[in-house]
Structure 1
Amino acid sequence: MSSSGSSSLVLAQKAVKQLRLEASVRRIKVSQAAAELKSFCLQNAHRDPLLTGVPSSDNPFRPPKSCVLL
């Protein structure tokens, strides 16, 4: 068998393996996934710094304080 024939066989086997993997994935309806995502977001909203803000003492991106010498 030629090297191009064996490489084609290897590529085909990889493709079949990937297709089998994708076929075995559990699927759910988009409406169910959206409802679960919405529920998750609502349950965790109190911990989301984009919604609640970050205390200035914990914010690593706060502007540096300047030093003033008298």
Structure 2
Amino acid sequence: MSNSSALIIAQKAVKQLRMEASVPRMKVSQAAAELKTFCLQNANKDPLLTGVPSSDNPFRPPKSCVLL
């Protein structure tokens, strides 16, 4: 690897690191509190918590037919 290509690679790495350093950060405690609030506000819409009505469930067991 020549010196010029090593220099280009190093410049790209520095550029990437500067970009990553400029990303705005949030405290974990704040992010966790916001996530908890979001989950509690949307819990009534979550089918894993509330269940799916049998009329809307495409995976419901088939009904058996009885002929008399």
Alignment correspondent of 1:42: 40
How far 1:39 moved relative to its partner?
0.6
How far 1:38 moved relative to its partner?
0.5
Matched residue pairs, number? 65
Alpha-carbon separation, structure 1, partners of 2:12 and 2:66? 69
Return 5+ residue gaps in structure 2 as ranges. none
Alpha-carbon separation, structure 2, partners of 1:21 and 1:61? 47
Percentage of identical aligned residues: 75
Alpha-carbon separation, structure 1, partners of 2:63 and 2:7? 67
* Counterpart mapping for 1:24-39 below 5 A: 24-39=22-37
Distance 1:39 1:66, change over 3 A: closer
Alignment correspondent of 2:10: 12
The alignment's TM-score, normalised by the length of structure 2, stands at 0.72
Alignment correspondent of 1:51: 49
Alpha-carbon separation, structure 1, partners of 2:37 and 2:28? 14
CA RMSD, 1 decimal: 2.1
Distance 1:53 1:69, change over 3 A: closer
How far 1:26 moved relative to its partner?
0.9
The alignment's TM-score, normalised by the length of structure 1, stands at 0.70
* Counterpart mapping for 1:51-70 below 5 A: 51-63=49-61, 65=62, 68=65, 70=67
Return 5+ residue gaps in structure 1 as ranges. none
